Structure 1
Amino acid sequence: MSTNWGNYKDYHGAARHFPGSSPSTHVQDPRLTLLESLIPGLFRAKTCLDIGCNAGLISVQLAIDFDATSVTGVDIDPKLISQAEHHLAIRSSRVRPATPESQKVVDYFPISAVLQHGYRFEPDSPDSSPALSNWPCVRFVSADWVVSANPATSGPYDVILALSVIKWIHLEHLDEGLVSFFRKCSASLVAATGSKPLCYVRGITAPDKGVP
Structure 2
Amino acid sequence: MTDVVLTRADQQRERVLSLSAEIFSRRGFRATSMNEIAAAVGLSKPTLYHYFRSKEELLVRIYSDVLDESRVLAEEVVAQAPTAFAAIRELISSRVAYTCRHQELLKVCFEEEHELPADLAEHLLMRRHAFEDLFLSALNRHLDEHPEIAIGMTPRVYVNMCLGAVNWTYKWFRASGPATPEQLGEQMAASLTASLEPA
Shared fold (TM-score, shorter chain, > 0.5): no
Structure 1-normalised TM-score?
0.28
Q: Which has the larger radius of gyration?
A: 2
- RCO greater where, 1 or 2, for CA within 8 Å and sep 6 or more? 2
Greater share of strand: 1
Structure 2-normalised TM-score?
0.29
Greater share of helix: 2
